[in-house]
Amino acid sequence: MANTTQAIESLAAEIGENVYIDIAKWHLYLRDAHLHTVVAQQLYSMLEDGDLDADKVERVLQGIPVKLGGGKREVPLADLIPMQCQVQLMDVLEEFQRKM
The 10s digit of each residue's pLDDT in 36-82 is 999 999 999 999 999 999 999 999 999 999 999 999 999 999 999 99
pTM, 2 dp? 0.94
Over the stretch 15-33, which tens digit does the pLDDT of each residue have?
999 999 999 999 999 999 9
Reduced 3-state DSSP string for the chain = CHHHHHHHHHHHHHHHHHCEEEECCEEEECCCCCCHHHHHHHHHHHHHHCCCCHHHHHHHHHCCEEEEHHHCEEEEHHHHCCHHHHHHHHHHHHHHHHHC
